[in-house]
Amino acid sequence: MHDAQALYGWATLKQHLDKHFMADERLAQAVSARLLGCRCQFNRLSGTWRAALLQDIDTAGTRAQQQIVALSAQLTRLPERFSAAHLQPLLNAGWSSERLFTLLQAVAFASWQDRLLMTLGETR
């Protein structure tokens, strides 16, 4: 993070992705932050889901939101075991491939960023 060019690239990517992320992606990112213990990101993203995510991640949200939570939890906890089967509930619910890809990007970026922020030492 002492490399200005790398920091600029990370900030540019974050800014670009944040413009395109909606509530579903923010929920998925909050799940990642909660699972990894990244307090600053969880506090920034959790919003109305905060209490439910703190109480029990696996039962947080509506039925539709639980599918997003389950996908995010699986990808965050065990990315090497993530498969097409984990996408199927959202595909069955009518999600497009583009929307699913955006959700996967949100979780992957959040998981990487949360780990990075915790390694560097959270400031909040």
What's the predicted TM-score (pTM) here? Answer: 0.85
Alpha helices by DSSP H, 1-124: 4-20, 23-36, 39-45, 50-55, 63-77, 88-92, 97-120
DSSP state of 59: G
Q: How does pLDDT run across 15-36, given as a tens digit for each residue?
A: 887 777 888 999 999 999 999 9
For the domain that residue 72 is a member of, what is the CATH number? 1.20.1290.10
Domain that residue 104 falls in: 14-120
CA dist 46 and 24 (Å) reads 11
Does 7 map to a domain?
no
Query: How many domains are there within the chain?
Result: 1
Does 1 map to a domain?
no
Does 18 map to a domain?
yes
Task: Provide Rg for the chain, Cα atoms.
Answer: 14
Does 2 map to a domain?
no
Does 41 map to a domain?
yes
Tell me which of 90 and 16 has the higher pLDDT. 90
What is the token pair recorded at 82? 């993530």
Does 70 map to a domain?
yes
